[in-house]
Chains A and B, each alone.
Chain A
């Protein structure tokens, strides 16, 4: 199943913030994590992810730092900030509204 481009674009921010809320992470790991969380249904491209990360950083929702991994290589990690947490709460509420509404119409139709 292919998730539409629009839906992917709309869900990038909440997904990213949720992943960074679990722990600090870097681009490559984030893409893997999304794939794993969605059972290989959501495939993010690098060309989309990095610009979004940079935009969120500019908006002050997340921040980045360079950190040397066990392999001895420098990686750019991202960390969620307080404003990011607030934004995540807002997004959560919005998604809950959408999901609840969809669930309701679908179960209603199922019953009739």
Chain B
């Protein structure tokens, strides 16, 4: 006997296998197919006849999938593969790749330039200069890449470059005294600050919109993963070069240190942002997949930690290093939660990972509250140093972010608000990070008298 349900299911599985469709697309097409079948049956056809005619009318999966891929211009890779003769896309792609190669070379050369003034990389005495300026060698080129790609207005160009320029000037005219705490802190926070500035270049006009910022968050996760992979490749290449040249008695270490690493970092950065930008479809992103794999594992770890802490009555021993560890914990949890959220369709009904996210956040909040209550006492007892203040500030900023998310999640589960509110909170909170990292990078040195 003809089983209509089974036939419809195998049809939608077939579409799934084609790619190019999101789960929502498929549900929508399936409901369309069912409407068509119902209509035909009510006009007198048998179920199997109706099914055959309906799928024929919907068009075969190939044609349908091509149409979807064409309109889905975000999906550039597939676009190229399906439509290689499209001259416009091909031309743009060649231009982008030229930019990647050129900018990687320029950034690397810019990084070598200070050597002319005696600031050799990896030499004692010049580390501080490179730690402070590292992001300034690369990120401006990333911004230019996006300006050209997005055909940004002159006003955007000038604003963002003014920010880069101001940052470069301020960071380098600051004096720095032993033991260079605030200078190192600026060096750590400036890249984050400038990355957010670069985000404005990435999103173009959409920077103010929730969608534009969410895309930037996705983009950040993806570029990080691509960058990590490319850097691993560079390291393998470097080890390989050293090994084979060693076999003929030539020490390639200097080349490795002075050229490969520098140009490698710049190339890795440019390649990752190019790839992450070109490959933007939400379904296949790496960061969400990693987040979904690791969030249950983190939850188990943290719950056991909490349980052991309560069972043994052992409160975490509080030193600055431990506070940094808890900062990392919050940062990790935020990353996991964020990338589960970022891959989620706003209209999707509640699913398992939403509950998992909330439990994860709540556990992190409890652990951190215990840690904080212990450390606040110690911090005040021994006086404030720049490092302690930064670690504490980081903790509070992350805590605020997660607490807000938890609160909104609860509201969402109780159907008080829709999921878009959570996204809005997260995308708005980027401003807090911008302010905080800017504060540490530019005002901490002044507050703590450049020590």
Could you say which of A66-74, A80-88, A102-110 contacts chain B? Answer: A66-74
**A76 CB, nearest partner CB in chain B, Å:** 5
Identity of the chain A residue whose Cβ is nearest the Cβ of B67 in the assembled complex = A47
**A33 CB, nearest partner CB in chain B, Å:** 13
Interface majority SS on B: helix, strand, loop or mixed? helix
Contact between B36 and A28, CB atoms less than 8 A apart: yes
Indicate the member of B28, B59, B63 with the most A CB atoms within 10 Å. B28
A46 to B63, CA, bound (A): 11
Could you say which of A14-22, A34-42, A50-58, A90-98 contacts chain B? Answer: A50-58
Identity of the chain B residue whose Cβ is nearest the Cβ of A53 in the assembled complex = B28
Query: For residues 107 through 137 of chain B, which have their beta carbon under 8 Å from a beta carbon of chain A?
Result: none
A57 to B347, CA, bound (A): 13
A66 to B31, CA, bound (A): 11
Name A51's contact: one of B24, B31, B38, B72 (CB within 8 Å): B72
- A13 an interface residue at 8 Å Cβ cutoff? no
- B250 an interface residue at 8 Å Cβ cutoff? no
> With a CB–CB cut-off of 8 A, which chain B residues contact A65?
347
> With a CB–CB cut-off of 8 A, which chain B residues contact A26?
31-32
Contact mask B339-351 → A, CB, 8 Å, 1/0?
0000000010000
Contact between B34 and A73, CB atoms less than 8 A apart: yes
Identity of the chain B residue whose Cβ is nearest the Cβ of A27 in the assembled complex = B32
- A3 an interface residue at 8 Å Cβ cutoff? no
- B85 an interface residue at 8 Å Cβ cutoff? no
**A51-B72, A64-B347, A73-B34 as given contacts; A27 in contact with B28, CB under 8 Å:** yes
**A45-B59, A46-B32 as given contacts; A51 in contact with B27, CB under 8 Å:** no
Contact between A51 and B68, CB atoms less than 8 A apart: yes
- B35 an interface residue at 8 Å Cβ cutoff? yes
**A50-B29, A76-B27 as given contacts; A28 in contact with B64, CB under 8 Å:** no
> With a CB–CB cut-off of 8 A, which chain A residues contact B38?
71
10 closest Cβ pairs, A-B complex: A51-B71, A47-B67, A28-B35, A76-B28, A47-B64, A28-B32, A75-B31, A27-B32, A47-B59, A46-B58
Give 24 A-B contacts (CB < 8 Å), ordered by A residue. A26-B31, A28-B31, A28-B32, A29-B35, A46-B59, A47-B59, A47-B63, A47-B66, A47-B67, A50-B28, A50-B29, A50-B68, A51-B70, A51-B71, A54-B71, A54-B72, A65-B347, A73-B31, A73-B34, A74-B27, A75-B35, A76-B24, A76-B28, A76-B31
